Amino acid sequence: MPPSVIRLEGVSKSFWPGPVKAVTDVSLEVRSGEILTLLGPSGCGKTTTLRLIAGFEAPDQGAIFVCGDRVAGRRAWVPPERRGVGMVFQDYALFPHLTVGENVMFGLDRFPRKDRRERAQEVLRTLDLKPLFDRYPHELSGGQQQRVALARAIAPEPVVVLMDEPFSNLDAHLRDQVRDEVVRILRKADVTCILVSHDQRDALAVSDRVAVMNQGRVEQVGTPREIYKHPESVFVATFVGRTNLLQGVVQNEDGCVLTDFGSFCRVNRLGMPNGTPVMISVRPDGFTACREAEGVLHGTIRSATYTGSQVEAEVAIPSADGGMRKLVVHLPPSRAYHIGEEISFRLLPEFASVVRNACDTLGFSSPVAATVAAEKGGGAHSSQRSSHPSSASV
Ligand SMILES: Nc1ncnc2c1ncn2[C@@H]1O[C@H](COP(=O)(O)OP(=O)(O)O)[C@@H](O)[C@H]1O
Ligand SMILES: [Mg+2]
């Protein structure tokens, strides 16, 4: 495993007056060459976490290590300029009165004076910016300013580059292109990077791992796939894309959960004991349309939005209590769907996951007690076009 570059151990930070708890008990590790994104809504503590790592803030509790050396916590303190950390600010913060070359040379005081120009040129060449060496920041496009800020950050060969919302100031049409370019540069230079973003698309697209933050805490750390497919909390499930939250009960030790919509197996990754009322998150991708005879769920399309790569449909499905439940389902875009059309599905367990503390978060006391009792009593649903296939396993 690559060595750890940045490690946070139980880091907390409050601001006064208040106190405003900006960061609470955050533990994180970033390994050499890794791109990790801190993802979360505005105000959840992302920038404060970056500033703590950079040394612009000191933690109230916990410790921060850079390449194994304690730089903050337990009376240790290494100032920002001696941490070997490069920072790209949200507004780029280029010096307007300095040229591109001078901006990049600015942080190179560790290099002998005679080598600074060459180092700046070398980095600007890597980023395809060398022709802009003598230009001023106001003569550059947003995307170019972004890359100059990145060049300035990586020129001193930092052990890690911290980038705060690097893509948020770019026009929508430039955004994906600049994002892919920045990631290509980071990968090519083998730079370890912590990015901050409130945009789940960016986070999933560029990161090796994502740390999802909510109200100052890290709720889950995982690869983009893990975070998307197997969210462990209601917050992660709902913040990172759309999802369906279904009430259920853990059915057996194999990790199956019985819901109104059938039994989902291999989804109890949190190891909840048999009989526990739980919620599962099922992504819209967790259903696959099929012929009626093969389907375990049958419903009626209530809305259908074509996005190019898929159709996002809301499907009304009769529930065990005689009401209707709406599911959000991704359908293949190869054909058109009509409002009122009947459709059948099968379930894909890989997009389903038990979420932690959902009953507390969503205010359910005992989510499926009634459903389970009805199942056992045997008479709560009709077998014809049933949406409630207690025996259907996936
Ligand atoms: N210097 C500060 N003084 C007081 N409160 C602050 C300061 N910096 C951040 N905060 C507060 O801390 C919380 C987290 O802020 P921040 O880390 O900037 O969040 P994010 O970057 O995720 O939007 C917010 O409530 C914010 O208002
Ligand atoms: Mg911020």
Ligand that lies nearest to the alpha carbon of residue 49, given by its number in the listed order: 1
Question: Looking at ligand 1, which atom is closest to the CA of residue 40?
Answer: 22
For residue 101, is it within any domain?
Answer: yes
List all residues 6 or more positions away from 32 whose beta carbon is below 8 Å from its beta carbon. 2, 3, 4, 5, 192
| Res 392 pLDDT > 60 | no
List all residues 6 or more positions away from 48 whose beta carbon is below 8 Å from its beta carbon. 13, 22, 23, 57
Tokens (6 digits) for 17: 């007056």
Contact 348, 285 (CB under 8 A): yes
List all residues 6 or more positions away from 382 whose beta carbon is below 8 Å from its beta carbon. none
Question: Looking at ligand 1, which atom is closest to the CA of residue 50?
Answer: 17
For residue 389, is it within any domain?
Answer: no
Of these ranges, 53-57, 128-132, 373-377, the one predicted with the greatest mean pLDDT is: 53-57
Q: How far apart are CA 232 and CA 45, in angstroms?
A: 20
Choose one of 199, 229, 259: the last residue of a domain. 229
Task: Let me know whether 190 and 87 are in one domain.
Answer: yes
Strand partners, 38: 196, 211
Mean pLDDT on 111-136: 92
Q: How far apart are CA 283 and CA 243, in angstroms?
A: 5
Q: How far apart are CA 1 and CA 30, in angstroms?
A: 11
Task: Let me know whether 63 and 179 are in one domain.
Answer: yes
Question: Looking at ligand 1, which atom is closest to the CA of residue 213?
Answer: 22
Contact 332, 311 (CB under 8 A): yes
Task: Let me know whether 177 and 256 are in one domain.
Answer: no
When comparing pLDDT for 383 and 67, which is higher? 67
Task: Let me know whether 164 and 290 are in one domain.
Answer: no
DSSP 351-367: GEEEEBTHHHHHT-SST
Task: Let me know whether 164 and 47 are in one domain.
Answer: yes
Query: Ligand 1: which residue has its CA nearest to atom 8?
Result: 48
Range of the domain at 90: 4-229
Ligand that lies nearest to the alpha carbon of residue 213, given by its number in the listed order: 1
Ligand that lies nearest to the alpha carbon of residue 48, given by its number in the listed order: 1
When comparing pLDDT for 114 and 15, which is higher? 15
Task: Let me know whether 190 and 297 are in one domain.
Answer: no
Three-state DSSP at 302 gives strand
Q: How many domains does the chain have?
A: 2
| Res 383 pLDDT > 70 | no
Domain CATH code at residue 64: 3.40.50.300
State pLDDT tens for residues 208-265: 999 999 999 999 999 999 999 999 999 999 999 899 999 889 987 667 888 877 788 8
Residues with CB under 6 A from ligand 1: 15, 20, 22, 40, 42-48
User: What is the reported pLDDT for 376?
Assistant: 30
Query: Ligand 1: which residue has its CA nearest to atom 6?
Result: 15
For residue 392, is it within any domain?
Answer: no
Domain CATH code at residue 330: 2.40.50.140
Query: Ligand 1: which residue has its CA nearest to atom 1?
Result: 15
| Res 379 pLDDT > 50 | no
Tell the residue number behind the tokens 């709560």, with chain if given.
Answer: 380
For residue 39, is it within any domain?
Answer: yes
Q: What is the average pLDDT value for the chain, to the nearest integer?
A: 86
| Res 10 pLDDT > 80 | yes
Task: Let me know whether 182 and 274 are in one domain.
Answer: no
Mean pLDDT on 49-76: 96
Q: How far apart are CA 253 and CA 107, in angstroms?
A: 58
Of 67, 55, 65, 58, give the one whose Cα is nearest residue 23: 58
Tell the residue number behind the tokens 């802009």, with chain if given.
Answer: 132
Ligand that lies nearest to the alpha carbon of residue 211, given by its number in the listed order: 1
Three-state DSSP at 184 gives helix
Torsion of CA 110, 116, 122, 126, to 10 degrees: 50
Tell the residue number behind the tokens 């601001």, with chain if given.
Answer: 15
| Res 387 pLDDT > 50 | no
Contact 117, 183 (CB under 8 A): no
Task: Let me know whether 211 and 245 are in one domain.
Answer: no
- Expressed in angstroms and rounded, the spacing between residue 210 Cα and the centre of ligand 2 is 16
For 176-182, which contacts have Cβ atoms below 8 Å and span 24 or more sequence positions? 177/143, 178/143, 178/146, 178/147, 179/205, 179/206, 181/143, 181/147, 182/146, 182/147, 182/150, 182/206
Q: How confident is the model at residue 92 (pLDDT cuts 50, 70, 90)?
A: confident
For residue 385, is it within any domain?
Answer: no
Choose one of 208, 229, 250: the last residue of a domain. 229
User: What is the reported pLDDT for 194?
Assistant: 98
Helix axes 172-188, 142-154, angle to 10 degrees: 20
List all residues 6 or more positions away from 374 whose beta carbon is below 8 Å from its beta carbon. 320, 321, 380, 381
For residue 152, is it within any domain?
Answer: yes
Mutate to test the pocket of ligand 1, among 15, 21, 56 (most ligand atoms within 8 A of CB): 15
Task: Let me know whether 105 and 210 are in one domain.
Answer: yes
DSSP 249-278: EE-STT--EEETTEEEPS--TT-PPTT-EE
| Res 385 pLDDT > 70 | no
Task: Let me know whether 118 and 95 are in one domain.
Answer: yes
Half-sphere exposure at residue 7, Cβ-oriented, CA atoms within 13 angstroms: 11
Q: In this structure, what are the phi and psi dihedrals at residue 243, rounded to the nearest 5 degrees?
A: -155, 165
Radius of gyration over alpha carbons of the chain, in Å? 25
Q: How confident is the model at residue 371 (pLDDT cuts 50, 70, 90)?
A: very low
For 15-19, which contacts have Cβ atoms below 8 Å and span 24 or more sequence positions? none
Question: Looking at ligand 1, which atom is closest to the CA of residue 57?
Answer: 1
| Res 66 pLDDT > 70 | yes
Tell the residue number behind the tokens 């992504």, with chain if given.
Answer: 283
Tell the residue number behind the tokens 């337990």, with chain if given.
Answer: 74
Q: How far apart are CA 77 and CA 71, in angstroms?
A: 5
Task: Please state the pTM of the whole predicted model.
Answer: 0.86
Task: Let me know whether 184 and 240 are in one domain.
Answer: no
Q: How far apart are CA 99 and CA 331, in angstroms?
A: 51
Choose one of 179, 208, 229: the last residue of a domain. 229
For residue 384, is it within any domain?
Answer: no
Query: Ligand 1: which residue has its CA nearest to atom 14?
Result: 45
Where does 2-141 have alpha helices with state H?
Answer: 46-54, 100-105, 113-126
Name which of 83-92, 154-163, 175-184 the model is least confident about: 175-184
For residue 207, is it within any domain?
Answer: yes
Longest dimension (CA), the chain: 86
Task: Let me know whether 185 and 202 are in one domain.
Answer: yes
- Expressed in angstroms and rounded, the spacing between residue 388 Cα and the centre of ligand 2 is 45
When comparing pLDDT for 75 and 172, which is higher? 75
Name which of 168-177, 195-204, 207-216 the model is least confident about: 168-177
